[in-house]
Each structure stands twice: as C-alpha cells, then as structure tokens.
Amino acid sequence: MKKAVVVFSGGQDSTTCLVQALKEFDEVHAITFDYGQRHKLEIEVAQSLAKELGVKAHKVMDVGLLNELAISSLTRDDIPVSHELQDNGLPNSFVPGRNILFLTLAGIYAYQIGAQTVITGVCETDFSGYPDCRNDFVKAMNSALVQGMDRPLEIATPLMWLNKAETWALADQYDALQLVREKTLTCYNGIIGDGCGDCPSCELRKVGLNDYLANREAVMAELVRKQTTES
C-alpha cells in the first residue's frame, strides 16, 4: 500500500498537493502544525478541508516552542507584514527553522505509520524568498532523515518548479480549482479565499490566478510538459 504524509497548512499550495496525493496514493495522512501563527483560523481551515477531502487521518501538532524562538511577522501580532525585504535580504514573514522542524516531524510521523513519502508544497520558482523552500534544502533534509532513521523516505515537492499560474492549473487538472480558490487560506491577514488582495501572499496568488485564467490552454500545456519531463 502506498502511503503519504502531506504537510498541510490549509493554504493554496498544500491543499493542491493534498488533492493530488489523494489521487496518487492509497492512503493519505495530513499533518498540520500549530506554532502560534498569526491566524489560528489557518488550523481550522486545514481541519475543515481535511475532513471534506477525506484523508485517512489529520494530526494537528502543537509546536509552540517555534514561536518562542522565531521572531517573525507570522509569529508576532505586533509586527506588520512588510512588502520590503529586511537587511538580510529576507522578508519579515520568514520563520527561521520552520520547514526544518516541520519536515523532521513529518518524517517521524511517516516512519511511525509506514509511509514512504512526505509531501510538501514548497516552491523555488514562485516563492517568497524563503531559503527553506529551495530544492537544495529539501534534498539536504531528505538525506538527513534517511540517514538519521535508517529507512527509505522521499520528500516529494510537486510544486517545486511550477509558477503560481501552473499551480492553479494543477488544481484545475484535479477538478479542484474552485475548492482551492474559495476554501483555502493563503492570506497573511487571515481572509479565506481570494484574501485581502494586498499582502505579498495574496499578490502572488492573484497574479498567478489571473495569468492562468487569461492563458488557460498555454499554462496547462506548460504544466503537462513539465510533468512529462519530470516523469
């Protein structure tokens, strides 16, 4: 039996990954992390979507210690999300160590349930400048988990080389475009669906959606080309 664990935030990217995983794996588990993020609604959205989509199990893990250590606009209500980069070249929404922790815990969960794959929606093509969304980082984490647990495991990143328009196309490929558009929470200001339209996350999402809707056939063709090349 092919089992997978999806790192699931209830946002556009992870929901698209979850929809795809449910078609490709015999059993899918979702894992969501409560790290005191800016909007608790994110967890509620993830729970609702996991139930609606019919995952085998949905684990919500308390990792509040991350909030104590990582100071970011996503972990502090008194720090507004900025469109400008910090002196270190990173956005102030970057949560240092977040994906290191998340992938480690997801890998442990996969070990316990006998899953061969951990799926995460990180992307190097259209990303927010986070170093822990890069392919080299994921490969390094994958190697560390395999060596540290002495067990085969793949960290799959279906969105790694897709732009946002192609991510929308992927959701559409699985007849989930409207679900992703209307029921996910990507907005840094906590507004479900199309969001506030102003924060960096909403801007990225909106530009990608508009591009896809305006160039549906061309974007879908490019998605299929990338899928064929990867396989």
Residue 9 labelled as part of a binding site: yes
Residue 75 labelled as part of a binding site: no
Question: Where in the chain are the domains?
Answer: 3-230
| φ, ψ of residue 154 in degrees (nearest 5) | -115, 130
Residue 199 labelled as part of a binding site: yes
Whether pLDDT at 94 is above 90: no
User: According to the model, what pLDDT value does residue 137 have?
Assistant: 93
**Among 72-76, 107-111, 137-141, 147-151, the least confident range:** 72-76
Whether pLDDT at 83 is above 70: no
- When pLDDT is averaged across residues 10-20 and rounded to a whole number, the result is 97
Q: How many whole angstroms separate alpha carbon 225 and alpha carbon 219?
A: 10
Residue 133 labelled as part of a binding site: no
CATH no. for 3-230: 3.40.50.620
Half-sphere exposure of 102 (CA within 13 A, CB side): 27
Residue 13 labelled as part of a binding site: yes
Whether pLDDT at 33 is above 70: yes
**Among 2-6, 129-133, 159-163, 221-225, the least confident range:** 129-133
Is the separation of the CB atoms in 184 and 53 below 8 Å?
A: no
User: According to the model, what pLDDT value does residue 133 have?
Assistant: 86
Is the separation of the CB atoms in 65 and 41 below 8 Å?
A: no
Residue 14 labelled as part of a binding site: yes
Helix (H) or strand (E) holding 182: helix 177-183
Contacts of 178 (CB under 8 A, 6+ apart): none
pLDDT single digits (tens) 156-182:
999 999 999 999 999 999 999 999 999
Residue 73 labelled as part of a binding site: no
User: According to the model, what pLDDT value does residue 198 have?
Assistant: 86
Contacts of 60 (CB under 8 A, 6+ apart): 31, 32, 33, 34, 43, 46, 47
> SS3 for 31?
strand
| φ, ψ of residue 150 in degrees (nearest 5) | 50, 50
- When pLDDT is averaged across residues 143-162 and rounded to a whole number, the result is 97
Residue 8 labelled as part of a binding site: yes
pLDDT single digits (tens) 193-227:
999 988 888 998 999 999 999 999 999 999 999 99
- When pLDDT is averaged across residues 18-35 and rounded to a whole number, the result is 96
% residues pLDDT > 70 (the chain): 84
Q: How many whole angstroms separate alpha carbon 57 and alpha carbon 60?
A: 10
Is the separation of the CB atoms in 161 and 120 below 8 Å?
A: no
Residue 48 labelled as part of a binding site: no
| φ, ψ of residue 205 in degrees (nearest 5) | -65, -45
